Amino acid sequence: MADERTRYFRRLARRRRSARRWSVIAGGLGAAAAVLTPYAGLGLPDAAWAAGAGGAIVLAAWRWADLRALAAQPAPPALSPDEAAAQSRARLVAAVQRLPAGSGMLAEARRVRSRVALRGTGAAEPWGRLDRAGSTFAGLRGRLTGLAAPAVAEATAADHSLRDLALRVAEVERAIRFAPPDTRPSLEQARTALADQLRNGVEAYERLVAAAAGYVAENVRSDVQEPAVARLTEATDLLHGTASALAELRATDPTFRAS
């Protein structure tokens, strides 16, 4: 999507082209009416030429008036480089999201960017554990229904919160490297508290994922495996019965052939 300044100049260019086009049409129809109108008076065809010329002149005048009114308005200010870059990124993200696998591609790109941002900090290891647990939970999400459905929203909120906490731990850790010596003890305490909170949160999230996996396993075992085993047993018995019947028929009629 274009910014306000670009849209303003596009509207200005469209109105200028429209005004020029109707000016040319009005001039052409006016000249034709002047040449084709006989001196003895106007007939019905000549009145049509004159009416067309008059209408084109009025429309051309309206277009020029609209152009002057728009040109009198001040143009919106130009975007700063940061704002222009932000709009370009927003347009790129919107275009990728419209693709069939766009959301997954964006999520993977964000994970890679976060992993690079946390590299070399104390938050890298908890973040890696969180990322692996989150990928596992994503595979279980569709099977958490019924009583387990509220766990999906809780896990999603916890995932976002813990990822944000990991970024904050990394930011504080980097700030310690450049902080004055007298401010480092307080920053170290804050970093330690945040890191402990991050580790505890990741452990709790991993326990949640393990519980979700246990729920899915029990649900699948009770709802899917037993009926599947019963169907397989029935199919096996059917095949055994059919084989026995074919053997008996072949024993009584040597010329019998199963199709």
Q: Nearest to residue 144, comparing CAs of 226, 224, 218, 228? A: 218
Q: What is the pLDDT of residue 147?
A: 73
Quote the mean pLDDT of the chain. Answer: 76
Has residue 65 been placed in a domain? Answer: yes
- With bands split at pLDDT 50, 70 and 90, how would you rate the model's confidence at 93? low
The answer, yes or no, to whether residue 98 has pLDDT greater than 70, is no
Distance, CA of 35 to chain centre: 62
- With bands split at pLDDT 50, 70 and 90, how would you rate the model's confidence at 1? very low
Has residue 4 been placed in a domain? Answer: yes
How many other CB atoms are found less than 10 A from the CB of residue 131? 17
Has residue 134 been placed in a domain? Answer: yes
How many other CB atoms are found less than 10 A from the CB of residue 16? 16
Whether 56 contacts 23, CB under 8 Å: no
Structural tokens at position 224: 């899917």
Q: Is the pTM of this model over 0.85?
A: no
Q: How many domains does the chain have?
A: 2
| 172-231 tens-digit pLDDT | 888 888 888 888 888 888 888 888 898 898 898 888 888 888 888 777 655 554 555 666
Does residue 205 share a domain with residue 120?
A: yes
| 238-247 tens-digit pLDDT | 777 667 766 6
Does residue 206 share a domain with residue 119?
A: yes
- With bands split at pLDDT 50, 70 and 90, how would you rate the model's confidence at 100? low
The answer, yes or no, to whether residue 43 has pLDDT greater than 80, is no
Name residues whose C-beta falls within 8 Å of residue 133's C-beta, 6 or more positions apart in sequence.
202, 205, 206, 209
Whether 144 contacts 151, CB under 8 Å: yes
Has residue 251 been placed in a domain? Answer: no
The boundaries of the domain holding residue 49 are 1-100
Whether 87 contacts 56, CB under 8 Å: no
Does residue 84 share a domain with residue 12?
A: yes
Has residue 256 been placed in a domain? Answer: no
Does residue 128 share a domain with residue 170?
A: yes
Q: What is the mean pLDDT of residues 145-172?
A: 83
The answer, yes or no, to whether residue 27 has pLDDT greater than 80, is yes
Does residue 209 share a domain with residue 127?
A: yes
Does residue 50 share a domain with residue 91?
A: yes
Q: Give the Cα separation of 141 and 152 in Å (integer).
A: 7
Q: Give the Cα separation of 69 and 45 in Å (integer).
A: 37
Whether 66 contacts 15, CB under 8 Å: yes
Over pLDDT 90: what percentage of the chain? 0
- With bands split at pLDDT 50, 70 and 90, how would you rate the model's confidence at 237? confident
Question: Phi/psi class of residue 146: alpha, beta or left (left: φ > 0; alpha: ψ in -120 to 50)?
Answer: left
Q: What is the pLDDT of residue 171?
A: 86
Whether 35 contacts 27, CB under 8 Å: no
Residue written as token pair 């001196």 = 39
Q: Give the Cα separation of 257 and 245 in Å (integer).
A: 12
Burial 222-234 (b: 16+ CB within 10 A, else e): eeeeeeeeeeeee
Has residue 144 been placed in a domain? Answer: yes
Does residue 95 share a domain with residue 5?
A: yes
Has residue 88 been placed in a domain? Answer: yes
Q: What is the mean pLDDT of residues 36-65?
A: 74
Does residue 214 share a domain with residue 160?
A: yes
Does residue 141 share a domain with residue 187?
A: yes
Over pLDDT 70: what percentage of the chain? 67
Q: Give the Cα separation of 65 and 68 in Å (integer).
A: 5
Does residue 193 share a domain with residue 146?
A: yes
Has residue 259 been placed in a domain? Answer: no
Q: In whole angstroms, how far apart are CA 97 and each of 101, 102, 159?
A: 8, 4, 21
> What letter does residue 167 receive in the DSSP assignment?
H
